Amino acid sequence: MDAIALRRGADAPEPIERPRPVPDAGEALVRTLRVGVDGTDHEVLAGTHGTVPDGEDYLVLGHEAVGVVEDPNGTGLEAGTVVAPTVRRPPNGDPNDYFARGAADMAPPGATLECGIDGAHGFMAEYFTAREEFLVELPEALAEYGFLVEPASVTEKAVEHAYASRSAFDWAPESACVLGNGSLGLLTLAMLGGYDRTYCVGRRDRPDPTVEFIESLGATYVDSREIPVDALGEVHEPMDFVYEATGYARHPFEAVEALAPGGVAALLGVPDSWTFEVDGGRIHRELVMNNKALVGSVNSGREHFAAAADRLVNLPTAVLDDLVTDVYGVGEFERAFADDETTIKAAVEFHNQ
Amino acid sequence: MDAIALRRGADAPEPIERPRPVPDAGEALVRTLRVGVDGTDHEVLAGTHGTVPDGEDYLVLGHEAVGVVEDPNGTGLEAGTVVAPTVRRPPNGDPNDYFARGAADMAPPGATLECGIDGAHGFMAEYFTAREEFLVELPEALAEYGFLVEPASVTEKAVEHAYASRSAFDWAPESACVLGNGSLGLLTLAMLGGYDRTYCVGRRDRPDPTVEFIESLGATYVDSREIPVDALGEVHEPMDFVYEATGYARHPFEAVEALAPGGVAALLGVPDSWTFEVDGGRIHRELVMNNKALVGSVNSGREHFAAAADRLVNLPTAVLDDLVTDVYGVGEFERAFADDETTIKAAVEFHNQ
């Protein structure tokens, strides 16, 4: 079968031929429909994130997938069910405490592999296998856009954790700002509900499809080349909620300034080491005197996949149509990895239902 | 009556004579028993924190008080009830939204005064008045040590907010570290329950009464001159919970490194501006990849006073006896402000019941 992989030492994806996998006991065989491409895939290609599985020459790419159960193979799943796979798998196939508790998303990096990213093959292949516990049933309506469930689940978790940090008092957020107009930032902007005003920070000149998408949602585009994140409060308004999806290491510190009293910033980026100056006294004081919080979050659990699926089926289809700008067949997979300014979200299609 | 105040422009407390206050409608008159001294008082004296009330020549000091209702004056309180006053008051006597909602502790600095600290007279006087909503009834048993309820309430709030940030997943903290062996740090160490192992960070040579207190609680003393906070995880163990009570601006950043996966640091210090270098990329990545959080917290509400009173009456009296090293009469008030290494917690006594 066709698969798309990154060879050890290479920096671009390539097509490979692999045997169709045979599910082990407890695993189902899934026919892959579509697999999305995101910033993490580009980090994997660049070699700044992730690893090829031990003892292998390549890593099958892809961690945002939707598929259909081809062979339940004795699991509780039914053939034909639309599913999305979760991303984390136990090292050496041996479930540690995090996996045993169903809390793999809380595992530190050393206690987990990540399919398509770190030490385990991903889903960019015509078929893949997974244990039932790693497959989340999706509504039929998400056969097309179900590859968005994984990134949406990452947002569900981050928002859940950030909001939890505000649950000890009566928090009534009115303003939210997403840092980053990449696909995760824009998907998150579309998912955020209940705010009077939303903002999204990017670094693009108009006309630009991401700016159009932001404005189509009724949100305000902020160009951080003109208005730095720490000036958001002054120029626009202090933000009750900030969602960082840039991986720009200054943003958590600048976000403290951008937050309204009682506000929280959810952090999702994974930058490399970078030493710079901050007014640490001011950041510390601001966090304390205004009851602010910074909450880091990575990955997601089954419950976040379920919440994400719920959220996505309730979004207008037009929003998802606008977000997913490119879907390519396997023969054109390279185009899904193009990092150009007309692409918002691209996916590779392996089967059409 | 006798009171202890800081004159505008001065840097030491002095005794003053004031008329005994007459309660307005809705206010009770309270006979002051004891008023504690803490780090914030020293900041007020040093002029780095707080302000003298508008139009006045001095600020009556003291924000940690216990007293007895002398004259209920038509409020729902009963004469003879032991009470602790809350600290925040609305500017211009006009309750803003935070006060109207009973959430004064969440008000930004501009929306509140603080008795004995910022723009409103404190409780270091033979009598004070307060509206019923600003007085919390304490059990009789706390007549002696009820001035610890205010600092303990600040910890109750910070712990509540920090724990809330971990409520979205199954968090089972085993290790906790208090940064700071001042009176708030040590009181907090005594209050922390449910941990397998606790630590307290200071900068004192043995023999030292704070180190003895730490060890009497079964906690481990860590000298940060030898083991910096960001090395705690390596030398001792990663900390599930960190409580920062130093006001040292590097500590929030170092705490990120000290935290265990899924850990949280509660921040309480209020440093001045101070610009320094940090590996912001590493801090950002650590927060995200290990699901860590930083939660700032200031002040406390009535519910935290009630929780603190509960906690304190259940501590062994010997612990409070060890913590409160010095209680002075009004005539010796200066000694309560001495910042020496034999004092853990000092208070001024205005009435003996």
Indicate whether B303 belongs to any domain: no
Q: Are A160 and A281 found together in one domain?
A: yes
Q: Which of A110, A87, A264, A69 has its CA nearest to residue A173?
A: A264
Mean per-residue pLDDT, B228-257:
98
The answer to whether A252 and B282 have CB atoms below 8 angstroms apart is no
Q: What is the tally of structural domains in chain A? A: 2
CB contact under 8 A, A277 and B276: yes
At A332 the pLDDT is: 97
Residue A193 predicted with pLDDT over 90: no
The answer to whether B50 and B43 have CB atoms below 8 angstroms apart is yes
Dmax of chain A from CA atoms?
Answer: 60
Q: Are A9 and A97 found together in one domain?
A: yes
Q: C-alpha distances in angstroms, A230 versus A52, A234, B44, B174, B267? A: 38, 8, 29, 36, 21
Q: Are A184 and A262 found together in one domain?
A: yes
Mean per-residue pLDDT, A58-74:
98
Give the span between the Cα atoms of A15 and A2, in whole angstroms.
7
CB contact under 8 A, B297 and A288: yes
User: Out of A154-158, A249-253, A257-261, B45-49, which region has the weakest mean confidence (pLDDT)?
Assistant: B45-49
Indicate whether A149 belongs to any domain: no
CB burial class (10 A; 0-12, 13-18, 19+) of residue B269?
Answer: buried
Q: Tell how far CA A32 is from the center of its chain.
A: 19
Q: Which site among A97, A165, A184 would you substitute to test the B interface, given the most B Cβ atoms closer than 10 Å to its Cβ? A: A165
CB contact under 8 A, B267 and A274: no
Q: Are B204 and B240 found together in one domain?
A: yes
- Confidence class of residue A339 from pLDDT cuts 50, 70 and 90? confident
Indicate whether B146 belongs to any domain: no
* Tokens representing residue A137 in the block: 């049933």
Chain A partners within 8 Å of B245 (Cβ): none
Q: What is the DSSP letter of A283?
A: H
Cis, bond preceding B109 (omega within 30 deg of 0): no
CB contact under 8 A, A252 and B287: yes
Q: Are B199 and B326 found together in one domain?
A: no
CB contact under 8 A, B278 and A278: yes
Indicate whether B148 belongs to any domain: no
Indicate whether B306 belongs to any domain: no
Return the C-alpha torsion angle B247, B253, B259, B263, nearest 10.
Answer: 80
CB contact under 8 A, A293 and B298: no
Q: Are A123 and A163 found together in one domain?
A: no
Residue B52 predicted with pLDDT over 90: yes
Structure confidence by residue, pLDDT tens digits, B108-119:
999 999 999 999
Q: Which of A212, A266, A274 has its CA nearest to residue A239?
A: A266
Closest Cα in chain A, distance from residue B24 (Å): 31
Closest Cα in chain A, distance from residue B63 (Å): 17
Mean per-residue pLDDT, A132-157:
98
Q: Are B189 and B258 found together in one domain?
A: yes
At A53 the pLDDT is: 97
CB burial class (10 A; 0-12, 13-18, 19+) of residue B24?
Answer: exposed
CB contact under 8 A, B288 and A269: yes
* Tokens representing residue A207 in the block: 């006309």
CB contact under 8 A, B296 and A286: yes
Angle, CA A16 vertex, CA A12 and CA A19 arms, to 5°: 150
Q: Are B37 and B105 found together in one domain?
A: yes
CB contact under 8 A, A167 and B169: no
Which residue has 């290479």 as its token pair? A10
Indicate whether A233 belongs to any domain: yes
CB contact under 8 A, B267 and A288: yes
Residue A340 predicted with pLDDT over 90: no
CB contact under 8 A, A297 and B291: yes
At B193 the pLDDT is: 87
How many A×B Cβ pairs under 8 Å? 191
Q: Which amino acid is at A80?
A: G
Extract the runs of DSSP E, i.e. beta strands, from chain B: 2-7, 14-17, 27-37, 58-60, 64-71, 82-85, 88-89, 113-115, 119-120, 127-131, 135-137, 175-179, 197-202, 220-223, 239-244, 259-267, 275-279, 293-296, 324-329, 345-349
Give the span between the Cα atoms of B45 and B6, in whole angstroms.
7
Q: Which site among B291, B297, B299, B303 would you substitute to test the A interface, given the most A Cβ atoms closer than 10 Å to its Cβ? A: B291
Residue A234 predicted with pLDDT over 90: yes
CB contact under 8 A, B294 and A294: yes
Which residue has 């059990």 as its token pair? B139
* B113 strand-pairing partners: B89
User: Out of A116-130, A311-325, A339-353, which region has the weakest mean confidence (pLDDT)?
Assistant: A339-353
**ipTM of this complex prediction, to 2 decimal places:** 0.98
CB contact under 8 A, A170 and B267: no
In percent, the amount of chain B with pLDDT more than 90 equals 97
State the pairing for strand pair B324-329/B345-349.
Answer: parallel
CB burial class (10 A; 0-12, 13-18, 19+) of residue B57?
Answer: exposed
The better pLDDT of the pair A48, B322 is held by: B322
DSSP per-residue letters across B288-301: HHTT-EEEE--S--
In percent, the amount of chain A with pLDDT more than 90 equals 97
CATH number at residue A96: 3.90.180.10
Closest Cα in chain A, distance from residue B166 (Å): 7
Closest Cα in chain A, distance from residue B33 (Å): 29
At B126 the pLDDT is: 98
Closest Cα in chain B, distance from residue A235 (Å): 19
At B341 the pLDDT is: 85
Q: Are B189 and B319 found together in one domain?
A: no
Closest Cα in chain B, distance from residue A15 (Å): 30
Angle, CA A279 vertex, CA A275 and CA A280 arms, to 5°: 80
Q: What do you get for the CA distance between the two ends of chain A, in Å?
A: 17
Q: Which site among A294, A300, A302, A303 would you substitute to test the B interface, given the most B Cβ atoms closer than 10 Å to its Cβ? A: A294
- Closest Cβ opposite residue B296 in set A160, A252, A287: A287
Indicate whether A163 belongs to any domain: yes
CB contact under 8 A, B281 and A294: no
Give B24's Cβ-side CA count (13 Å radius).
4
Q: Which amino acid is at B63?
A: H
Q: Are A231 and A256 found together in one domain?
A: yes
Give the span between the Cα atoms of B347 and B353, in whole angstroms.
15
B289 → chain A, closest CA residue: A298
The answer to whether B191 and B167 have CB atoms below 8 angstroms apart is no
Q: Are A199 and A127 found together in one domain?
A: no
Give the span between the Cα atoms of A284 and B252, in whole angstroms.
7
B156 → chain A, closest CA residue: A168
CB contact under 8 A, B277 and A276: yes
Q: Which site among B166, B229, B284 would you substitute to test the A interface, given the most A Cβ atoms closer than 10 Å to its Cβ? A: B284
Q: Which residues contact B204 (CB under 8 A, 6 or more apart)?
A: B181, B210, B211, B223, B341
Q: C-alpha distances in angstroms, A134 versus A118, A128, A148, A303, B44? A: 16, 12, 16, 12, 57
CB contact under 8 A, B262 and A106: yes
CATH number at residue A280: 3.40.50.720
Chain B partners within 8 Å of A165 (Cβ): 161, 164-165, 293, 295
Residue A93 predicted with pLDDT over 90: no
Chain A partners within 8 Å of B288 (Cβ): 267-270, 296-298
Domain coverage including residue B23 = 2-137+315-349
CB contact under 8 A, A281 and B267: no
The answer to whether A253 and B280 have CB atoms below 8 angstroms apart is yes
Task: Kindly report the average pLDDT of chain B as a whole number.
Answer: 97
Which phi and psi angles does B53 have, rounded to 5°?
Answer: -55, 145
The answer to whether B173 and B197 have CB atoms below 8 angstroms apart is no
Chain B partners within 8 Å of A88 (Cβ): none
Give the span between the Cα atoms of B8 and B30, in whole angstroms.
26
Mean per-residue pLDDT, A110-139:
98
Indicate whether A301 belongs to any domain: no
- Confidence class of residue A35 from pLDDT cuts 50, 70 and 90? very high
Q: Which amino acid is at B116?
A: G
Q: Are A187 and A71 found together in one domain?
A: no
- Closest Cβ opposite residue A296 in set B249, B268, B293: B293
Residue A308 predicted with pLDDT over 90: yes
- Closest Cβ opposite residue B289 in set A249, A251, A270: A270
